[in-house]
Amino acid sequence: MSQKHPPPFFHGMWAASVREDLRIEGDITVLMQNLRNFTAQFELLRQVGVPV
């Protein structure tokens, strides 16, 4: 379940990307074009407490 205040390196996609167990692969251009949507989705999931 997501947490309102997650521990360090688990609070966002970019923070998690510095960990060795997360890789961002594929077309980074598409990710960057939709980054705002991904970030908003993660924030909504954190607010409503939906299991991820």
Give yes or no for residue 37 having a pLDDT over 70: yes
Output the average pLDDT for the chain.
76
Tell me if 45 sits within 8 A of 37, measured CB to CB.
no
The whole model's pTM is what? 0.51
Rounded distance between C-alpha atoms, residue 35 and residue 6, angstroms: 20
2-26, pLDDT tens digit by residue? 566 777 777 677 777 777 777 778 8
Helix, strand, coil share of the chain (percent; to 5): 50, 0, 50
Residue 9 main-chain phi, psi, to 5 deg: 75, 5
pLDDT value for 38: 82
